[in-house]
Amino acid sequence: MTGRFPIEDVTPSVSCGRYPAKAVVGELVPVSAVSYREGHHALGVNVVWRGPDGESEPFTRMRPGEPGLDQWHAVIRPDRVGRWTFTVEAFDDPYRTWRDAVVKKIGAGQGLEDLANDLSEGAEVLDLAAKIVPNEDEDRVRDAAAALRDEQRSLFARVSPALDLEELLWHNPVRQLVTTTRSYAIWVDRKRALYSAWYEFFPRSEGAEIGPDAIPIKHGTFATAAERIPAVAAMGFNVLYLPPIHPIGKINRKGRNNTLVARPEDVGSPWAIGSDEGGHDAIHPQLGTLDDFRRFIGVARDHGLEVAMDLALQAAPDHPWVREHPEFFTRRADGTIAYAENPPKKYQDIYPLNWDNDYKGLRDEVYRVVMHWVDNGVKIFRVDNPHTKALNFWQWLIAKVKETDPDVLFLAEAFTRPAMMNGLGKIGFTQSYTYFTWRTTAWEMRQYMEQLLTSIDWMRPNFWPNTPDILHESLQHGGPPMFKIRAVLASMLTPSWGMYSGYELFEHVPRPGAEEYIDNEKFELKPRDWAAAERAGRSLAPYIGRLNRIRDENPALHWLRNLRFHEIDNANLLCFSKRDPDTGNTVLVVVSFDSANVQWGNTVLDMPALGKDWHERFTVVDQITGATYEWGQHNAVRIDPYVEPAHIFVVQPPA
């Protein structure tokens, strides 16, 4: 302990302050601490926070929590991107000490003679306060001090003006014996870091043509892929994620369905990056040129979409790095370069990088590549398998990029151990993929969300119901209602969610015995007839668009800290809500996890979490069907998955 008063358990603090906590511009960030003192004198606690320019903001007074626990709480709201810092201060508050004592003594029947010293001491405190309060309040404080000294007045007339200063001197306290903690950091991103809706497609499949056995006839380009952008925007997405757009290796190229021997016409996996046509800073010539890519970004921007690029740090055997920087790779005993393996799986078309041979050279080369794309308009990177690369590299790279462009965001595609996923968040990754896909019961989902809420200061979840690699059995067998269920859960539980193209067409056929798609688009062109599907009513696109519009229209859904669960007596149903403290906007969701059967449930709502008193009745409007209901704490709810598998209610303000 240092200083006069103990200050403990400060939050947000990531790994005891080793890493910055995370927030976004406009987010209400809770700050808490435990602080206490000896005796009965009043203790005050406040937060002092500084913006990226180092200038101090007006301090924020912390309020006590549950009686007897000595916990203090405040909320701060950063308004700029960059590195913010805060300290917690504890101080002796002589005005509150005086006020509490005088109120108790008067209540006990003490009079002017008994309180003579108290009145004099109070006047001295107010003399100090008059030098602190805003100019417009100075006369009021001085008048109260004069009243305390005026022996011609009654006790009530002498003390009342001073007692009435409680609110003013709460926000402008006399602070003595101030004790200050160490500085804690918060990295503040732009809001897209927390609130985003991602859509993934392969540009080479858009406008492509194939013949029998998926033999490519025509390869998609950035120009043909741009024709798909209006439809993606119409579904309400704001991030368009592209798998790698670089030249694809020709040596050991994988064939259709991941076969080891490719046919001459096979296009290979975009993640096998690099050939004689270039490496990570080049564009696959069949997609177009760098100018074509810039035009594609421009079209996306005109439709409200940011383009996210895949950053996959690995190389095909014919990548220029293999020839120019063999030290970037691992040599085996026979002198060959080691290809990627995840035993028993083998990836002969990919060489992993070795971070221990020439760390500085490799790190600087990757930084050059990333900044090349940043300079060409890319501000979001989806990072492939970051958990297989050195963590100190990522910490360096992300910080280095943000030195010159703090708006750049990084999504970690790390389906791995929780400690590693949390560690990637702590060292700087903006968002993370999660285990959402494998949480298939209401109990599992609630437990998982409550777990994620404990890590909100360093790991922001992004929920995906599918990816090119993942087709969960719930989608394989759950039918169209399950596609709705997973989309509702992904889009309503978290501020960031995404889906891989084909989801809106209910694509659900797996490779036998696997949790992935048959005829995987990673290894072949996969053109889809979007228009025909919509004409035939075989598209979920209108429903997806409705979900994203609900998100946009309701600020409660833009945050994660406000998630609250409510009790419901059916294990197949999940009930949760979000409330925006600024607008009062409140969204209440009841969703079924059963895609085949009607489910009934009875709710017991946490009414204060909805901004209501326990006895109140209120109106809710279903944002999917438009139906209106009168609800209270206890409600019966029926969900038929073949009608709608979820209620998404907006709580209406009082008439």
* 507 in catalytic set: no
Q: SS3 of 529, please? A: coil
Question: What backbone torsions phi and psi does residue 351 show, to the nearest 5 degrees?
Answer: -105, 120
Q: Which of 413, 507, 524, 594 is catalytic?
A: 413
Tokens of 496: 């960031």
Q: Which of 206, 306, 384, 524 is catalytic?
A: 384
Q: For residue 618, give the amino acid letter.
A: F
Positions of the chain with pLDDT under 50: none
Per residue in 265-274, pLDDT (tens digit) is 999 999 999 9
pTM assigned to the model: 0.95
Mean pLDDT estimate for the chain: 96
* 384 in catalytic set: yes
Q: How far apart are CA 260 and CA 255, in angstroms?
A: 6
pLDDT at 598: 98
Do residues 148 and 123 lie in contact, with contact meaning Cβ atoms separated by under 8 Å? yes
Q: Is 406 exposed, middle or buried (0-12, 13-18, 19+ CB in 10 A)?
A: middle
Tokens of 414: 């790390």
Q: How far apart are CA 402 and CA 374, in angstroms?
A: 11
Counts of helices then strands in the chain (DSSP H, E): 17, 31
Per residue in 25-84, pLDDT (tens digit) is 999 999 999 999 999 999 999 999 999 998 888 889 999 999 999 999 999 999 999 999
pLDDT at 1: 53
Q: How far apart are CA 426 and CA 287, in angstroms?
A: 36
Phi-psi region at 626: left, alpha or beta (left = phi > 0; alpha = psi -120 to 50): left
Q: How far apart are CA 270 and CA 522, in angstroms?
A: 7
